Each structure stands twice: as structure tokens, then as C-alpha cells.
A and B are shown apart, each in its own frame.
Chain A
Amino acid sequence: MAPPAQSQRSHSPSQPSGKGEVSDLKMQLRQLAGSRAPGTDDSKRDLFKKVISYMTIGIDVSSVFSEMVMCSATSDIVLKKMCYLYVGNYAKYNPDLALLTINFLQRDCKDEDPMIRGLALRSLCSLRVPNLVEYLVGPLGAGLKDGNSYVRMVAAVGVLKLYHISGSTCVDADFPALLKHLMLNDPDAQVVANCLSALQEIWGLEASSSEEAVREREALISKPIIYYLLNRIKEFSEWAQCTVLELVSKYAPPDSNEIFDIMNLLEDRLQHANGAVVLATIKLFLQLTLSMTDVHQQVYERIKAPLLTLVSSGSPEQSYAVLSHLHLLVMRAPMLFASDYKHFYCQYNEPFYVKKLKLEMLTAVANESNTYEIVTELCEYAANVDIPIARESIRAVGKIALQQYDVNAIVDRLLQFLEMEKDYVTAETLVLVKDLLRKYPQWSHDCIAVIGNISSNNVQEPKAKAALIWMLGEYAQDMQDAPYALEGLIEDWEDENSPEVRLHLLTAVMKCFFRRPPETQKALGAALAAGLADMHQDVHDRALFYYRLLQNNVSVANSVVNPPKQAVSVFADTQSSEIKDRIFDEFNSLSVLYQKPSYMFTDKEHQGPFAFSEELGNLSIGSEPADDILPAQRVEANDEDLLLTTIEKEENRAHGNNDSAYNAPAYDSSLSQLAVSQTDGELLSLDQTVPADAPQPSSAIDDLFGLGLSIAPSPAPSPPLKLNSKAVLDPSTFQQKWRQLSVSISQEGSLSPQGVAAMMSPQALLHHMQSHYIHCIASGGQAPNFKFFFFAQKADEPATFLVECIINSSMCKAQIKIKADDQSASQAFSALFQSALSKFGMA
């Protein structure tokens, strides 16, 4: 087999257009098309190879389509395969030409050689041209009933391909039912497996629109099917076993005997050479025993050895995948690997990602008995040549210190790091020492002695610098030259790029000032002056705030800046336990690696950290056009309101800087325009009803002063609750209120599938709710998660209810959060809301 001629060509950085070559090829192919001379196939092969190699490197060879099709009349199977590949690649973009191929593919589907039948069927289904689906149904139907398992195997996947091109054609031809029949009866395991994969996908996608599909999907995890598949588990290929095990893990056996039966049957799968099978089995075991605590523990013990084997065998990438799972497990059961910590010692040549996970494992498994060894080992890495790993190791030591009670030795080690005199080591250590001091103030004496010797010139990284400055301020009385160190730093104010450091510097100088006034006074003045002139808004604001505070009352200022502090006992966990549980449910998938549940990275909606702000900005804002409403009930914008709006705006902006989820910068301008345009109409409306929105801006002011919400009157709830039919709220007020109020009721309910289907056209839901005087302010999302924001007002008073409603269409679940000005009425409102939703089968 001669190497294809393109190898030299593609070495040149600019790939040739290949125009000349392509037309040459076209000529040659045309000559060969009709020829029946011996040796034709060989020359065809060379030409086809050239075409394919051009195609691979990205040269457009679609112009030889008709010639390729003409040449395809051959009995040479390799030629056929190349031709199928070519056709599959270009058919989509040349639907007219694709029609040419239908003929010969259909003919091949009836070939006597099952291999050819299979190949042709596969290619036919891979054309992906919507208007050719009618030609697919016949061959697919025949393929599913073919006497040869190879053809049936291809046909099963073919049905799925057809479904993706045209779902209705697939369902109308009753292929899913055929697949189900095959799955339950075919003697060939691979056919069964392909049917299962196809059915899972088809029912999963259909479930949102058809109730039957939901039933069918449920039926897949019913006892008869599960047992049927389990009994054949050993016939399946390793990949198909993964699919089956995954399916079984969704099955909930009714009693514990059944659980033990399944586990006994599958225990040997833990010895399978394919790590994917082992992991799938582990998932199944863990899911089965979730409700049986002691058995669950035994499962942990049982899976330990296989997991450790998986870590140490296979490629680094595989180890990485397994280690991520180990990490998840160890977070749930920290004792699990406590005695096996040596397995997580890093090897010198391992890639970064494996080392990093191993360090996390070492951190997680550290307990009283092994801390000494682990920390000793971590200290070795801190001296590592590999700087990122050295940093990670130091962080790991710090995390262990924060977990443990006996930190004595660790503090010493940390302080020794500072003596290594390497920038990055010092930087990481400083950040850690700061956190340690917040938790264990009793160590301040030892730490301060060492920290005091560090020159701030040697610390460049913002985080570390901020930590050092914090310590200088916090322990100003213990550190001899704290004021002078701070003074030095303030002199370099202009060169300090990080606002974070400048903020810390301001606070530290303030703290220092109250402890050692005479020495710090000058520095404080300089710092406040520099801060007031600072371009960064936050720095400026903080400087101004301190300035005013000092001006107002010095002793109050002291109690604001230097309040008595309590040691931090537990640092906040970044992930809620709910999220962790969801990740655990999705064991053996990407979720574990990304450490977030799948909806966060597969749904478009969640691709940002929290994309709601854009949602409010871009999607149907204020579903009712403003003109429909009586002017009197619009936002009453008198002078006071105008003033308040600016405050709101500032608040909005500040929140934007804090990455708050609910900022919508686009509103600022529109809002003020709205407000301005309304100033003329204001007098008219003053004497009319109480302005609907008036309490809200004022509550914003209360909030700013930390007075809490007291303005909204709370009369005794008078059932039946009546809602204002013409309630008005503008989006920014909504956002603001949403921020301020706490959730008064949070509920979850299930919907009937028909209801969900009806909701799929969102306007229907919105109109329906509106008829109940509940108005939608924003909605968005993509299948299966939709989010709606509603609001309503009481008929007789300006108390507002805010609702966030998340509907998951695939699980038929609705999640409702209600916030209310008048907490006492929220129960009544919730009942009202649910009765409104009951049209959609809310239970």
C-alpha cells in the first residue's frame, strides 16, 4: 500500500487549494467509470484514496461527487467503503446529488453479502438529508428483520439516526416498538445493546412531548427488562455492559433481597479489566445501597481495592478520571482511604493534573493518625521544581491545618516555608498564615514574630500582599514596625496596581491608627488622601467612608473598624450539599470532573456562572406593554422618586461589581428615561391611589441604612386574598425587591405531562396566569429547564408578591419560590398561585 501523496504537501503550512489536482482527479475518475478492464479497481483505489485524503485535510472535493458515484459500481468492498465515506461527508451539503446515491445504496441494501447490506444501510442512514428520509424507511424496516446480526446491529443504530433527522417519520413507522421487540428477543447481544441505546435516547427526547414516551422510558427500568438484561450481562461487550449497568443504576429494587441478588450477580464485574465497567458497577452498588447505611459502608470497603488499581494502572488521563471520582467519594466518606494515603503520593514524572488531584486527595484523607506523614510528604513537594505543584502543596498543607485540631506542628512547618526565601512559597504561605490566624488567633504570637521579618518588598502577588497588610493592621500592636511598614506601602500607592491591595491598605492603616495613633497619624492622612484621589470606585468610596466616619465620631469609627472578633470556626463550604448530592447522582460522568451537576454545563442557560442577568436583559421583559395600563398606576415619579432612583442605580452598580446575580446594567439608562418622561404626569396622579411602588424605593433607603423593612404595613391577613388586576412593577424594581426580600415560601410540586406540554408554549402559561392577576415579568430558559418570574399585588394595598417558578419539563417538576412584602399573606398567595397552576396538573 503506497503512502498517499499528500504527506509532503500537508507539511507546508499553507495548504494548497488543490483546484488543479481536483480537476485532474475528476478527469481520471471519469475515464475509469465505465471501464471494465482488469486492474481498474486498483487504479480506482488510488484515486479514491487521493480524494479521501484531500477531504481529510480540508480541500473541497465535492465537485467530483457525480464521478465518485459513477465509479461506485464495483464489487471491491474497500472501494465501496471509501465511496460511502465520501458520500456521507458531502451528501448533506449537496442534497440534489445525494439523490444520485440513493439508488446504488438501496441496491446494496439488498446485496447477498450481509457485510455489504450492513455497510450500505449505515451509509444510507448517515446521509443526513431530511428530504430523503422516505427512502430510509423501507431498507431500515428490512434491516431490522434481516437474518444477519451484523445488519440488525447497524439497523438498530440506523433507527436512531433516522430519529435525529426526522423524529416523526421514525415514530410513525413504529420503529421504536420494533426496536423494543428486538431488544427483548434478539439472540445477539450487540443488537440488544444498540437497541437499548437507541431506545434510551429516543424515549428520552420524546418524553417531553408524549406521555406514551414517558411511560416507555419508565418501562425500560422496570423489573422484567432489568432482569432480562442482567441475566445476559456476560454476553455483552464491555461497552454495552457499561450502558446496561448505567440503566440498572436507575432501577429501584422494591426490597433488600433483590438488592443483594443484583449485587451478588454483578460482584465479579469489579474484576473486569475495563475500568469503565468497574466504575459503572461501583456506581450501581453505591446507588442501590443508598438507603442501607451499613451495607453502603461495606460497599465502600469493597470498592476500595478496585479503585486504587484503576488509579495506578492505565494512562494518566484514565487515572485523572478515576481520581476525580475518588475525590467525590472521599468527600462523602473521609475515612475510606485514610490508611491508603500512600497511594496518593505523587510521582516525579506524573502530569500536573494527576498531581493536583492527588494533592487534593491527600488533603481530604488527612486525619489525626496520618497527618504527620502526609504533611511531611507535602513539604517535599513544596520544595519541588515544578512551581504550580509547589504552590498547590503549600495550599494543601494549609487546608489540612484548617481541618485539624492539633495544628502545632503544621504551624511550625508553615513558618519554615517562609525561610525558604522563594517568592512563590512566601506568597502562598502568607495567605495561609492569614487564614490560620483567623481560625486560631492563639498562634498569633509565633506567627507574628516570623511575619514581622518579612519585607513587603519581597512580596509581589496581590493576594499575598493583601494578606500581609491585613496582618500588619490586625496585629499592629504586636509588630514593632507595623506603622512604618504601612507607611512605606502607602508611599508606593501609585505603583500598586491591585485595587484589592489598596482596599486592604486603607483598612489596615485605619486599624493601626486606633492602636498606635501617634505613629500612624501621618500615614493615615496620606492613605486617605491617596484613596480619595483613587480612580477605582470602591477604593474611593471606602476612603470617603472612613473619612466621614472619622469626621463624625472617632470612637464609633473605632468600633466599626476594630470590632471584637471571634475566631472563625468553620470556613464556608463553597458547594451546597444539594449540589453535591446531585453530582453524586451523576457518578461516572463529566459532572464529577467538572464538580457541578450536568444541567450547569449542558443547558445553554447555565453556561455562565449564573446567566440570569442576561436573561432578564434579553428575554421578554415586562410582558405587558406599558400603554395598556392606566397612567395613574405607573411608577409615580416625583422629585423624591427621581432621587431615589439614582440611589438605586448606584446600588445596582455596586452589586454589579460584586458579581451579584441580579444586575442588569442595561436598565439604568432606560429607567431614568422612563422616570424623566413621567415627571410631567406626576401631579395628576398624586391625589389618586397610593402610588403602587412608593414603598419600594423607600425600603431601599431603609436597607441602605441597615434598618430593615418596616414600612410595609402588615394588617391582619384577611382571607380571601384579592389581587390587584392591574398591578404594575418595572423590572428593576422587581430585581431590587427580589434581592432584598427573603424567601417566605419555597415549594416543589409535580406537574402532569400534559400540563407540561401545554406550558411548552409559554404564552399560554403567561395568559393563563394573567387571568388570575398574576403577571409575568421575565421568562427564559431552554429545554428542559424553564424559568418564570411573576409578580402580583394585593388589590387593596400596595403589598407585592414575587414568584420565581422553575419548571423542569423532562422531570415534570415545578419549583416555586415566593417572596412577599407582607409575609403573613404569603401563605394565602401561595394557595392562590397553586390553584392557578392547577390547570397544568400541578399537584
Chain B
Amino acid sequence: MPVAASAIYFLNLRGDVLINRLYRDDVGGNMVDAFRMHIMQTKELGTCPVRQIGGCSFFYMRISNVYIVIVVSSNANVACAFKFVVEAVALFKSYFGGAFDEDAIRNNFVLIYELLDEIMDFGYPQNLSPEILKLYITQEGVRSPFSSKPTDKPVPNATLQVTGAVGWRREGLAYKKNEVFLDIVESVNLLMSSKGSVLRCDVTGKILMKCFLSGMPDLKLGLNDKIGLEKESEIKSRPTKSGKTIELDDVTFHQCVNLTRFNSEKTVSFVPPDGEFELMKYRITEGVNLPFRVLPTIKELGRTRMEVNVKVKSVFGAKMFALGVVVKIPVPKQTAKTSLQVTSGRAKYNASMDCLVWKIRKFPGQTESTLSAEVELISTIAEKKSWTRPPIQMEFQVPMFTSSGLRVRFLKVWEKSGYNTVEWVRYITKAGSYEIRC
């Protein structure tokens, strides 16, 4: 039994019920109270996302200022339940247009009830695909697609689409201009020791697509990944240095991708859903190019003074640049005064985060920038060595750069009417958790 959720609740941070939907009678009506009493109002909150109270298990997730709670009374599949919540939230977001928070829920609660009815029946997940649901649950919702007059063109197949086999695309789409947008978005995670050695470093990437294509097109995507290239040319390529071939540790695909063909021919071929979707996700641990090097030196001079010196080097191509670079350098709680000097950007002391926040809006490649700061501390008697230095954290975005070196080699669109398409490809690398211990 995958989920068989007995009830689902949406609560705000104070514990007020925003939405409640009871699917089964096997849990009492006071489940919300149990959740409030035993989880929200205790220190337990946030220590574990799965809790058992009485005979029931509670799965809860916080999303912005809302708690979503699933209650089950049996031995449920946890991974499935959490995935369901994540998917449901994505669905709601696609309906509300972006934000998912308390206000959005209050403004759309009728819609949410409608959706909850469709996406889960008696605790079993049903269809969660926004593409299909939007066919018959509309914000106006005046009429169902079935009740429309028989002369209306696009609906004859609607019944099939509600539950049908090609769940992600409906027939009869037509665009004047056929366009495909493809984004490779990578987030690079780094954990560097205070001695400058890389403890852990990997890239999680995803390929996002936006398709505005007519008919039922077949797409084929070629990347410079090792397996794909090997299969294609049967040439054994050397391990990459120049970013020519990339070894993907693991790949997962959107359900539209023909996995059998991927396994036999190593090509990514698919009939895309209409509009935006995530085509694939991948993970890479070998041969990651770090876009930034951070060299911190922090000296504690006596009890009340500290000297902080942080040098940041950009190691990507000189023609590229990073945007929105933020470096957060932790300082002790008892910081009294700071004097900061930077070679570029702006820096200031943020007392609520106990950090020096250094922002550089545009950071060109192959350059370096330094921050030097003097920090004065209030002398305290009680704690001698209490300051355990949290790591320096960094945020950035580097357009047209991939840490993994992954590149799109081709993107072919084939449709029986043979129209021309315009393809757009973009790359961007963001900081995931980029931490440097000091």
C-alpha cells in the first residue's frame, strides 16, 4: 500500500487549520490537536519529520509559512508520501502562479479542495500532472471539458487525457512559432577544509525545458557525456580535462523520456509535455571545475580583536562573469565594531546573522578580490574559547558556465508535419552549499 493517507492538513505557523481533508475514517477528528500538542508546541518540531503519536504516524513538511501534515494509520511508504507532498505543492504553485504560502492558500482554498479531491482518492494518489488537471480544473471552473458543445474541436480526446496513457501531452496543439528553450542549471556543492583541501565536492544538475511545439514532436538530445559519446563513435575517449566528455554518476529522467531507448542506445529521446518541465537530473562527482577559490586567513589577536582577510579568486573563463556573488564570513556573537575594506563590491557587518556580508554584483572571470576587516570584540569573562567558527558560505550564479563541463551537442526536433523549430540553450551554475571552513 503506497500511501493510503487518512487525512491531510495545511496549518499555518500558529497551528490554525487552513485546509483539512479527511480521506478515511480510521483516524479521529482530533488529529490536528494531537499534532499541535505533541509536535508544534514542543521542541520536537523540526527534530524529525516523521512522528508517531498514538496509533498514527504524522509526516510533516514546512513549506514557506505553512505546514503540510499527512496522517496515516498503517505502515505507509514514507518516500512516496513526501514525494506526494512535494508534487502537490508544485501543482498548487503552478495554479497560483509562483508563491505557495498562507495567503495564497487562503485566497485559493476552494481550488485547493477541488485539487485535493482529484489528486488523492481515499488516500491513494491519483493524477498529479498539472498538464492534465488544468484541462478540467480551471480557476474559473465554469464548465467541464466534457460538457462543452460537440462542435468544440480540442476536446474529443479529453477523456483519454484525464487518465490516458500519454499523460503528459495532449493532442492538437498548434503554435505559430515553434520554439524550444533548454536550460542546464547546475548547483555546485563544496566543502573545503581550513587547510584548503577539498573534502567533498559534487554537482547536481538539471535540464529544464520549455517547449512551445505543435503536434506530437519527437525530440532527441545529445550531450557530451561519456557513455553517450562512447556509444556513438565507439572511440574510447580519455578522461576529461578540457571538459570534453563528462561522466555522469547518475541520471534520472522525466517520465516522458523513453528509458528503454536510453538504456539501449544511450540517447535521450522523448515526446515533451507542453510548456515547462524538468527533463532530467544528474549528479557528478568527478572532474568538477570550481568557479571560485576562497582563501581565508583569520587571526585572533588577543581577546578583543580579530583580523579577517578573505581572498576570492574566480577561476572560470575571462570572458565570463559571475552575478550576485555573496560571501558570508562568520564572526563571533560579541562583535562590537568592524572596519571593512574591500577591493570590489560592498561589505557590511550583519549583527543578526553574526556575519560579515560581502556582496559583489558582477565578478569577472580570472580576477580576484579581497576583503580585509578588523573586528573588535566585547571582552567577556565567562566564555573563554566558546567561538567555534562556522564555515564561510558563498552564493553566486555564473551564466554560460557549467561546473561539470556538460554541453548540449545537439537537440533534434522531429514532427510529422516537418516544421522548423528555433532552439535556445542556456547554461548557468549556481552555488549549492558552498562552504569553506576557516
**Residue ranges of A at the interface with B (Cβ–Cβ < 8 Å):** 1, 3-4, 6-7, 10, 49, 52-53, 56-58, 75-78, 81-82, 85, 89, 112-116, 119, 122, 128, 148-150, 153-154, 157, 160-161, 164, 188-191, 194, 197, 200-201, 235, 237-239, 242-243, 246, 267-269, 271-276, 278-280, 305-306, 308-309, 312-318, 320-322, 324-325, 342-343, 345, 347-349, 351-353, 377, 380, 383-385, 420-421, 586, 588-594, 598, 601-602, 604, 607
Contact = CB atoms under 8 A, between A and B. Distances in A.
Contact of A321 (B78, B143, B249, B384): B78
Return the 4 tightest CB-CB contacts between A and B, nearest first: A268-B259, A239-B125, A598-B75, A276-B80
Contact of B2 (A53, A148, A239, A325): A239
Nearest to B124: A197
B263 A1 contact: no
A85 B1 contact: no
A271 B253 contact: yes
Contacts of B199: 342, 345, 377
A589 B61 contact: no
Interface stretch (B103-111, B173-181, B414-422): B103-111
B200 A345 contact: yes
A753 B266 CA distance: 52
The SS class assigned to the B binding surface is mixed
A161 B121 CA distance: 10
A598 B55 CA distance: 11
Given A52-B109, A347-B189, A588-B79, A116 B144 contact: yes
Contacts of B251: 271
Contacts of B82: 314-315, 317-318, 321
A115 B146 contact: yes
A276 B255 CA distance: 13
Contact of B75 (A1, A274, A590): A590
Given A246-B77, A313-B283, 11 more contacts: A77-B143, A189-B163, A197-B124, A314-B83, A315-B61, A315-B86, A324-B78, A351-B46, A380-B193, A589-B77, A593-B78
A273 B20 CA distance: 29
Interface centre among B77, B262, B437 (most CB of A within 10 A): B77
A194 B106 contact: no
Given A164-B25, A190-B126, A271-B251, A345 B191 contact: yes
20 contacts: A52-B113, A56-B17, A58-B17, A77-B147, A157-B124, A191-B163, A239-B2, A239-B125, A268-B259, A276-B2, A276-B80, A309-B250, A309-B281, A317-B49, A317-B61, A351-B46, A353-B48, A380-B437, A593-B78, A594-B52
Contact of A153 (B1, B57, B126, B200): B126
B75 A588 contact: no
Nearest to A346: B191
Contacts of B374: none
Contacts of B249: 305, 308-309
Contact of A320 (B25, B50, B391): B50
B304 interface: no
B69 to A, nearest CB: 12
B107 A1 contact: yes
B163 A385 contact: no
B196 interface: no
B131 interface: no
A385 B388 contact: yes
B19 A56 contact: yes
A273 B279 CA distance: 9
B393 interface: yes
B76 interface: yes
Interface residues of B, number: 99
Interface centre among A4, A385, A420 (most CB of B within 10 A): A385
B254 interface: yes
A6 to B, nearest CB: 8
Interface stretch (B134-142, B228-236, B290-298): B134-142
Contact of A352 (B47, B59, B147, B393): B47
A115 B437 contact: no
Contacts of B259: 268-269, 271-272
A318 B79 contact: yes
B164 interface: yes
B385 A420 contact: yes
Contacts of A246: 1-2, 77
Contacts of B3: 239
A348 B391 contact: yes
Contact of B167 (A3, A58, A237, A324): A237
B114 interface: yes
B15 to A, nearest CB: 11
A56 B16 CA distance: 10
B127 A237 contact: yes
A797 B431 CA distance: 81
Nearest to A55: B20
Nearest to A77: B144
B165 interface: yes
B435 interface: yes
A308 B283 contact: yes
B65 interface: no
Contact of B16 (A10, A85, A197, A377): A10
B433 interface: yes
Interface centre among A128, A267, A306, A321 (most CB of B within 10 A): A321
Contacts of A201: 1, 4
Contacts of A81: 113-114, 117, 141
Nearest to B50: A593
Interface string B52-67: 1001010101000000
A149 B109 contact: no
Contacts of A351: 46
A268 B49 contact: no
A7 B18 CA distance: 10
B127 A347 contact: no
B199 to A, nearest CB: 6
B252 interface: yes
B350 interface: no
Contacts of A305: 249-250, 283
B52 A601 contact: yes
A58 B253 CA distance: 43
Contact of B163 (A3, A6, A85, A188): A188
A825 to B, nearest CB: 42
B162 interface: yes
B186 interface: no
A38 to B, nearest CB: 14
Given A239-B80, A347-B191, A602-B55, A313 B281 contact: yes
Nearest to A153: B163
Contacts of A314: 82-83, 86
A318 B390 contact: no
B24 to A, nearest CB: 8
Contacts of A272: 252-253, 255, 259
A309 B84 contact: no
Nearest to B166: A235
